């Protein structure tokens, strides 16, 4: 029987105007679907004119200028619905969704849906719940004592995944998907008996524990920083309305 990490997976990633999920905007997004390792993935891409200034520091990361997005990007409202519909269809088909640092990308998409569609991300998963595999959470739990950073680039290096075109939404989504496959193989003895749905539930607790550990580290360092324990989607805040 094929293990889940050798079967069909989808992956989602965004590029944004910044790192605040409550106020920043999506400028590009991609959903990558791969039915099995080595099979050519199917890629859906979106380019968005966010309707707000794009900071130079954001452009320096993903290379998308405000001028380019104004001329080539689409208005956010239809795009956000298309993305949510695509993710909902993947859930209906039973494909786990790989999202690196899920609380960022999924919460940002939720806020964009609220902003432009008077809707929520949860609405698209009413009949079939979202099943997320977050390589960041999985790696931190399975190899918790490893030193060093755990960005997508770091995980690709650690698990032997080639990342071509970092900070392109499609490239990052595919790389995250490949990291999950590699992680699954490396920790097969611990993961192969778990279903993706069981892993989704477990990651909720794992992420909360990781957040509490980071919060404690900040406290010991004298840094006033709040680490949100919610996963894979942060609850709505008044500022998002």
Which domain does 60 fall in, by range?
4-226
Q: Is residue 147 part of a domain?
A: yes
Q: What is the pLDDT of residues 144-189, one digit of tens each?
A: 999 999 999 999 999 999 998 888 999 999 999 999 999 999 999 9
Q: What is the pLDDT of residues 71-87, one digit of tens each?
A: 999 999 999 999 999 99
Work out the average pLDDT over 185-203. 96
Q: What is the pLDDT of residues 25-64, one digit of tens each?
A: 999 999 999 999 999 999 999 999 999 999 999 999 999 9
Work out the average pLDDT over 205-212. 97
Q: C-alpha angle with apex 71: 70 to 77, nearest 5 degrees?
A: 55
The reported pLDDT for the residue numbered 239 is 47
Q: Is residue 113 part of a domain?
A: yes
Helix (H), strand (E) at residue 16: strand 9-16
Number of domains in the chain: 1
Q: Is residue 235 part of a domain?
A: no
Q: Is residue 234 part of a domain?
A: no
Q: Is residue 156 part of a domain?
A: yes
Q: Which CATH number belongs to the domain containing residue 138 in this structure?
A: 3.30.420.10
The rounded distance, in Å, linking the Cα atoms of 202 and 209 is 11
The reported pLDDT for the residue numbered 224 is 82
**Band of the pLDDT at 223, cuts 50, 70, 90?**
confident
The rounded distance, in Å, linking the Cα atoms of 191 and 39 is 23
The reported pLDDT for the residue numbered 241 is 41
pTM score, whole prediction: 0.95
Q: Is residue 241 part of a domain?
A: no
Q: Is residue 201 part of a domain?
A: yes
Q: Is residue 46 part of a domain?
A: yes
The reported pLDDT for the residue numbered 226 is 84
Q: Is 100 exposed, middle or buried (0-12, 13-18, 19+ CB in 10 A)?
A: buried
């Amino acid at each position: 029987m094929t293990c889940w990490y050798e079967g069909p997976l989808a992956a989602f990633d965004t590029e944004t105007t910044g790192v605040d999920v409550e106020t920043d905007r999506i400028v590009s997004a991609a959903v990558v679907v791969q039915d099995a390792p080595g099979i050519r993935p199917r890629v859906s891409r979106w380019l968005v004119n966010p309707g707000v200034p794009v900071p130079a520091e954001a452009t320096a990361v993903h290379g998308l200028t405000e001028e380019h997005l104004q001329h080539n990007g689409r208005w956010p409202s239809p795009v956000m619905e298309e993305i949510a519909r695509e993710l909902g269809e993947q859930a209906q088909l039973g494909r786990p969704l790989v999202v690196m640092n899920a609380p960022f990308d999924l919460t940002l998409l939720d806020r964009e849906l609220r902003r432009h569609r008077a809707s929520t991300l949860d609405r698209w998963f009413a009949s079939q719940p979202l099943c997320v595999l977050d390589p960041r959470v999985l790696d931190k739990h399975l190899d918790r004592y490893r030193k060093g950073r755990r960005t997508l680039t770091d995980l690709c290096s650690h698990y032997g995944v080639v990342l071509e075109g970092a900070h392109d939404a499609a490239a990052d989504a595919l790389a995250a998907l490949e990291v999950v496959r590699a992680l699954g193989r490396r920790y097969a003895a611990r993961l192969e008996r778990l279903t993706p749905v069981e892993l989704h539930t477990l990651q909720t607790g794992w992420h909360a524990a990781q957040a509490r550990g980071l919060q404690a580290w900040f406290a010991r360092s004298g840094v006033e920083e709040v680490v949100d324990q919610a996963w894979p989607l942060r609850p709505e805040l008044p500022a998002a309305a």
